[in-house]
Amino acid sequence: MNGHMAGVGEAPSAGSFEHGVQIIDGDKEFNANMNEYLQVEHVAEAGFNYHIISVFGSQSTGKSTLLNNLFGTEFSVMSETARQQTTKGIWMSKNKRIESAGTKMADNILVMDVEGTDGRERGEDQDFERKSALFALATSEVLLVNIWEHQVGLYQGANMGLLKTVFEVNLQLFLKDKKSTPRSLLFFVIRDHLGTTPLANLRNTLIQDLTKIWSSISKPQGLENSRIEDYFDFGFAALPHKILQGDKFVSEVATLGSRFTTGHRGKSGNKDDDELQGGVFLPEYHRRIPADGFSMYAEGIWDQIVNNKDLDLPTQQELLAQFRCDEIAREVLISFDVVITPLEEKQAEATRFGKPTVLPDLGATGSKARTEVLKSFESQASRYHKGVFTRKRQELESKVDTRMKALYQGQLSAAHKAGVVAFSEAVSNKVKAGQKAGGGYEFAEIVASEKKKTLDIFKVEAQSLAMQGVPWTNFKTQYMLFEQELDEVSGKLRKEEMRRLATRVERWVKSRLGEAIGLEFNKLGSGRGGTGAPEEGEKPATEKDLWDRIWNVFTGIVKEAEVRFAERAKSFDASDEEVDVGMWRLRRKSWVALREKVDEEVMEGNILMKLRENFEDKFRYDEAGVPRIWRPTDDIEGIYTKARESTLKLIPLLSRFRLASTYAPPDLVSFIGTQPGGVEAGDEEDLPPIGGVDEDEGKSLEEETTVLSESKRQDLVVRFKKTADGVFVEAKRGALGGVTQ
Ligand code: GDP
Ligand code: MG
């Protein structure tokens, strides 16, 4: 039937588990192969869907034989002929039967067979008996108590001694675990049942004995009044003699096997197995150790037992949970790393090379990896101690999120940098294109549309990173910072655009001044103060109001320029302040341009020519503008002197920018106005100081409006006189010549 004997005394080699696995050997060592066994048997992955049964009873009462027949296991059985001693230890094997007597048995039943000398009868090693009982109680849902029928009622018998041990040990065990107090089923299997005494009678006798034993054991403080029913349910079965009634034995064992299914408690109480509905495995018997942590738990328990430490199951369960949760976290992080580490590396490398890169599909990839790592942790670890699990889950989440956060921040920082560059380039390119096409572009519109485009791209990226229920993935702040920087960049670009506009307007002012001021100076060439007839409504020009005319023309041009500038600047959303600054700069630059133009006009050669023309006009033409034909009788000296003096009067007039109306320089201070608030330090570098306006420059308005210095004036007088003299001599000579001819 069991067909094996060879296993006696031999430990199974790792990987060959035909007789199950010896989890505790004769030297009380825990066998590290247990977990491997659970994996080979596919129990490790079963979660809570497994059951543990242990067997108790005196030596050689057919325990192993019972288990092998019930569960198809191959535990060592003492030879009927040799009667030799089996080795001590605890063996475990998975149930090999799928069904019994037509009933499907529970999944993943693990059976533990305790072997040992009958210490009680031989007076030795009760220590191992006690230790194995403790171990069985700490782990098993069902404890099979194997007993001969003829032992029932023998209160002083060996079995009763064993049960006493079990009860004492149980109280000790659950002293620390008052909260959960797991129950167990004590399932009596009465062997060699003759059938003359009905099972019900045997049961009553046993219950009486058990109650007696319970009352006789010394109970720890606080548990003096506890009842046996607080800890145990009872089950009973009887089997006929295996050898004498072989067939009946087989069929009864099959019936007994059919009870090893899951069950639940009946309505009326818990006294004994009459109350059990369905099978023997009640949920409350389960120790709630996940299968993948069972061997570790068992090892911890055994370690405590062997070292005679007080067993503290709740602490053991917490330790197990910590260890397993850490282990599971490490396992699930491997798949997370496979996805996330390459992205982290890519990002780090891009940053190192100063080329922040936006990783494609990061949001989808990241959220999938995060969900998966947490989900697979939960599915495995949530079976362990709730408090520990919750804490470890949080640890894992924060570990994962620390990395995800860095990755996402890097992503948005890259998107930010790339966005700023793209925005600034796009605006510049469009402005350039607009300029090329003749300047017909609207700066403000370009900025607005490019800003919207750039913001949208950023928004899409930020939204793709957001995860529901994960507050740190709300990147509103980053979005706002990005928008802020775009506005700063827009400001800079607008400033550049303002500069370009200013340059254009200045150029326009210069060219207008060139023409208009040149015209005014040209009028000097005509000694009567003007060329040709004055325009209708225009006051005839006189030499005396040269500067008034220049000032009027100048302020008129500047006014026009200011209007152009302001209108254009407003069109690209420049602030009033920026416009004010621009116009202030424009007035200053225009004044400088005017001074340059005036300087050009009064350059030695130019002004001398103008004076000569002026003089010749007065000398060579009469009041009616008719050229004079000199005759010897003419008062050439008189006309010459008058004309020369008249022209000489121009030199002091030209020397100073004085308005005839006020006999004073123009009011430059009011013209330029006070410096507006928006001028930044360094902005004025290209603005030369203006005397009388920039007080601390040490140059007065007087100096600013001095066109010819004293020495230049004198020099000009001398040169002009020489020129005039030349004209005079020529005229004189002409007059004489004319007479002679
Ligand atoms: P264990 O030490 O309790 O595990 O007992 P074993 O299963 O090794 O069996 C001890 C001896 O009892 C063996 O020689 C078996 O053949 C014998 N045996 C097994 N089942 C029965 C039974 O139902 N009745 C009797 N009388 N002997 C049995
Ligand atoms: Mg045995």
Q: What is the mean pLDDT of residues 563-569?
A: 92
Ligand 1 mean position, distance from CA 100 (Å): 21
Bridge-based pairing of strands 99-100 and 103-104 is: antiparallel
Ligand 1 mean position, distance from CA 33 (Å): 28
Beta bridge partners of 236: 188
| Confidence bin at 608 (pLDDT 50/70/90) | very high
Q: Which of 253, 280, 311 is the last residue of a domain?
A: 311
Q: Are residues 617 and 685 in the same domain?
A: no
Of all helices (H) and strands (E), which one includes residue 148? strand 142-148
Q: 739 lies in a domain?
A: yes
pLDDT of residue 10: 45
Which residue in 599, 514, 525 sits closest to 557, CA to CA?
Answer: 514
Q: Are residues 156 and 93 in the same domain?
A: yes
Q: 671 lies in a domain?
A: yes
Q: Could you tell me the two tokens for 13? A: 């080699």
Q: 16 lies in a domain?
A: no
Q: Are residues 631 and 534 in the same domain?
A: no
Is residue 574 within 8 A of residue 498, CB to CB? The reply is yes
Which residue in 39, 51, 94 sits closest to 71, CA to CA?
Answer: 94
Residues composing the chain: 741
Lowest mean pLDDT among 263-267, 339-343, 373-377: 263-267
Q: 479 lies in a domain?
A: no
Query: 740 pLDDT exceeds 80?
Result: no
Is residue 155 within 8 A of residue 212, CB to CB? The reply is yes
> What's the one-letter identity of residue 446?
I
365-398 pLDDT, tens per residue? 999 999 999 999 999 999 999 999 999 999 999 9
- φ/ψ of residue 51, rounded to 5: -140, 145
Instruction: Quickly list DSSP for 521-572.
Output: HHGGGSTTSSSSSPPTTPPPP-STTHHHHHHHHHHHHHHHHHHHHHHHHHHT
649-665 pLDDT, tens per residue? 999 999 999 998 888 99
| Confidence bin at 274 (pLDDT 50/70/90) | low
Lowest mean pLDDT among 150-159, 367-376, 594-603, 708-717: 150-159
Q: Are residues 395 and 534 in the same domain?
A: no
| Confidence bin at 435 (pLDDT 50/70/90) | confident
What is the three-class DSSP state of 659? Answer: strand
Query: 412 pLDDT exceeds 50?
Result: yes
| All residues at 6 or more sequence positions from 506 whose CB lies less than 8 Å from its CB, including other chains | 586, 589, 590, 593
Instruction: Choose one of 55, 60, 83, 150 to mutate for the ligand 1 pocket test, by most ligand atoms within 8 angstroms of C-beta.
Output: 60
Query: 566 pLDDT exceeds 50?
Result: yes
126 is in an annotated binding site: no
Lowest mean pLDDT among 162-171, 202-211, 659-668: 162-171
pLDDT of residue 659: 92
pLDDT of residue 77: 85
Q: Tell me, using a 6 A CB cutoff, whether residue 69 lines ligand 1.
A: no
Ligand with smallest separation from the Cα of 248: 1
pLDDT of residue 623: 79
Q: Are residues 101 and 195 in the same domain?
A: yes
Q: Tell me, using a 6 A CB cutoff, whether residue 82 lines ligand 1.
A: no
> What's the one-letter identity of residue 618?
K
Number of domains in the chain: 4
Q: Tell me, using a 6 A CB cutoff, whether residue 116 lines ligand 1.
A: no
Ligand 1 mean position, distance from CA 161 (Å): 20
Ligand 1 mean position, distance from CA 516 (Å): 133
Q: What is the mean pLDDT of the chain?
A: 87
Which residue in 242, 247, 277 sits closest to 262, CA to CA?
Answer: 277
What does each C-alpha distance from 712 to 30, 328, 606, 707, 740 come to in angstroms? Answer: 118, 98, 14, 10, 42
Q: Which protein residues have their CB within 5 A of the ion that is ligand 2? A: 63-64
Q: Are residues 75 and 143 in the same domain?
A: yes
Residue 76 lies in domain: 22-311
Instruction: Choose one of 8, 76, 78, 113 to mutate for the ligand 1 pocket test, by most ligand atoms within 8 angstroms of C-beta.
Output: 78
Three-state secondary structure readout of 196-232: CCCHHHHHHHHHHHHHHHHHHCCCCCCCCCCCHHHCE
Q: For residue 342, how many C-alpha atoms fall within 13 Å in the half-sphere facing its CB?
A: 8
Q: Could you tell me the two tokens for 190? A: 């009465």
Q: Are residues 278 and 353 in the same domain?
A: no
Q: Are residues 462 and 497 in the same domain?
A: no
Q: What percent of the chain has pLDDT over 90?
A: 58
Q: 8 lies in a domain?
A: no
662-697 pLDDT, tens per residue? 889 999 999 999 888 766 655 666 788 888 888 776
Q: Tell me, using a 6 A CB cutoff, whether residue 73 lines ligand 1.
A: no
Q: Tell me, using a 6 A CB cutoff, whether residue 189 lines ligand 1.
A: no
Q: Which of 474, 506, 530 is the last residue of a domain?
A: 474
Q: What is the mean pLDDT of residues 203-228?
A: 88
Q: 360 lies in a domain?
A: yes
64 is in an annotated binding site: yes
Q: Are residues 334 and 412 in the same domain?
A: yes
DSSP structure class, residue 58? -
Query: 539 pLDDT exceeds 60?
Result: no
Q: Tell me, using a 6 A CB cutoff, whether residue 78 lines ligand 1.
A: yes
Three-state secondary structure readout of 248-296: HHHHHHHHHHCCCCEEEECCCCCCCHHHEEECCECHHHCCCCCHHHHHH
CA distance linking residue 475 with residue 455, whole number of Å: 13
Instruction: Please tell me the pTM assigned to this model.
Output: 0.70
Q: Are residues 461 and 577 in the same domain?
A: no
Q: What is the mean pLDDT of residues 250-260?
A: 95
What is the three-class DSSP state of 174? Answer: helix
Q: What is the mean pLDDT of residues 517-545?
A: 66
Q: What is the mean pLDDT of residues 499-509?
A: 92
pLDDT of residue 117: 52
Q: Are residues 220 and 285 in the same domain?
A: yes
pLDDT of residue 399: 96
Ligand 2 mean position, distance from CA 585 (Å): 109
Ligand 2 mean position, distance from CA 139 (Å): 19
Q: Which of 311, 328, 349 is the last residue of a domain?
A: 311
Q: Are residues 210 and 328 in the same domain?
A: no
How many C-beta atoms surround the C-beta of residue 488 within 10 A?
A: 11
Ligand with smallest separation from the Cα of 56: 1
Is residue 113 within 8 A of residue 63, CB to CB? The reply is yes
Q: Tell me, using a 6 A CB cutoff, whether residue 242 lines ligand 1.
A: yes
Is residue 530 within 8 A of residue 523, CB to CB? The reply is yes
Q: 483 lies in a domain?
A: no
| All residues at 6 or more sequence positions from 330 whose CB lies less than 8 Å from its CB, including other chains | none
CA distance linking residue 261 with residue 16, whole number of Å: 28
Query: 338 pLDDT exceeds 90?
Result: yes
pLDDT of residue 313: 82
Most confident of 341-355, 523-537, 561-575, 628-642: 341-355
60 is in an annotated binding site: yes
DSSP structure class, residue 382? T
677 is in an annotated binding site: no
- φ/ψ of residue 510, rounded to 5: -60, -45
Q: 221 lies in a domain?
A: yes
- Position of tokens 């020495």? 711
